[in-house]
Amino acid sequence: MDVNVANYERIVFFTGAGMSAESGVPTYRGAGGIWKEYDYLTYACQDAFDRDPSAVWDFHNYRRELVGQCQPNLGHKLIAACEKNYPAMTIVTQNIDGLHQLAGSNSVIELHGSLWRVRDERIGVRKTTRDSPFDAQQSNGSFWRPDIVWFGDMLDEAVLSDAVRVISNCDLFVSIGTSAVVYPAAQLPLLAKDAGALCIEINPEETPLSSLYDLTLRTAASTALEQLCS
């Protein structure tokens, strides 16, 4: 099947960690995956933060330093270029690395929050900071919390409903580099299928959702995007 984004209007790129793999950002699962080395129960859940915020921040500051050195790859740039030609294009990402925005994309829905945002729930404040390391302890002793959806957290309702709206209305849905095992994100491609969109999966490996797709490109994100976007 020969597909080109030029034949579609309402395009959704649905991205996961594999999108940033070619930038040098480790994925979560598989060889070299973050959760193989770091136990999320110690570093990426609310209980861990309540127990030992410093340890959780050591992990997130390590990630800030690592991701801060990474640049958008060709795939991010091709998607950003696409947005200029197709105003009704949206990126729905599970990534917290901010690389789509760094590549120049504006229409980005961040399902799982951002490594570059922090919040203080007591006073209802969020702020963006690229400080690395970020000094999370405030003068009153309390800690800023990474504005990230950790294990066990609910997704932000407004963010999720934005994602549901654009995916339910798309005519082309391109999933890139996600293992499709984390819910509710993993359910979203079903909405595109129900809407009658052409659904494409870009992933070197098969996923539990592969059979849903009309076309699967078993290659790296940038290679497949060169094919779709040129």
Point out the residues that are catalytic.
112
Residues in CB range of 91: below 8 A, 6 or more apart? 12, 13, 14, 15, 79, 100, 105, 107, 108, 109
Q: How many residues bind ligand OAD (CB under 6 A)?
A: 27
Question: Nearest 5°: phi and psi at 179?
Answer: -80, -10
Across the chain, how many H-helices and E-strands are there?
9, 9
Q: Which is nearer to ligand OAD, 94 or 105 (by Cβ)?
A: 94
Contact between 203 and ligand OAD by CB under 6 A: the answer reads yes
Q: Which is nearer to ligand OAD, 17 or 80 (by Cβ)?
A: 17
Q: Which is nearer to ligand OAD, 53 or 88 (by Cβ)?
A: 53
Q: Which two tokens stand for residue 33?
A: 């995956």
Report 134-193 residues binding ligand OAD (CB under 6 A). 148-149, 176-179, 182
Q: How far is the CB of 136 from ligand OAD (least distance, A)?
A: 18
Q: Write each residue from 87 to 126 as x if it is in contact with ligand OAD (CB under 6 A), else as -, in one continuous string.
A: -------x-x---------------x--------------
Minimal CB distance residue for ligand OAD: 18
Other Cβ atoms within 10 Å of 193 Cβ, number: 16
Report 34-93 residues binding ligand OAD (CB under 6 A). none
Task: With contacts defined by CB under 6 A, name the span among 1-9, 11-19, 50-58, 102-110 that binds ligand OAD.
Answer: 11-19
CA–CA dist 118, 146 (Å, integer): 4
The answer to whether the beta carbons of residues 198 and 184 sit under 8 Å apart is no
Q: Which is nearer to ligand OAD, 5 or 221 (by Cβ)?
A: 221
Estimate to the nearest angstrom the gap between the alpha carbon of 105 and the chain centroid.
13
CA–CA dist 224, 89 (Å, integer): 18
Nearest to 151 by CA among 63, 42, 72, 66: 42
Contact between 205 and ligand OAD by CB under 6 A: the answer reads yes
CA–CA dist 191, 200 (Å, integer): 13
Contact between 207 and ligand OAD by CB under 6 A: the answer reads yes
Nearest to 190 by CA among 6, 1, 14, 5: 14
Q: How far is the CB of 162 from ligand OAD (least distance, A)?
A: 17
Binding site for ligand OAD (CB under 6 A): 16-18, 21-22, 27-30, 33, 94, 96, 112, 148-149, 176-179, 182, 202-205, 207, 220-221
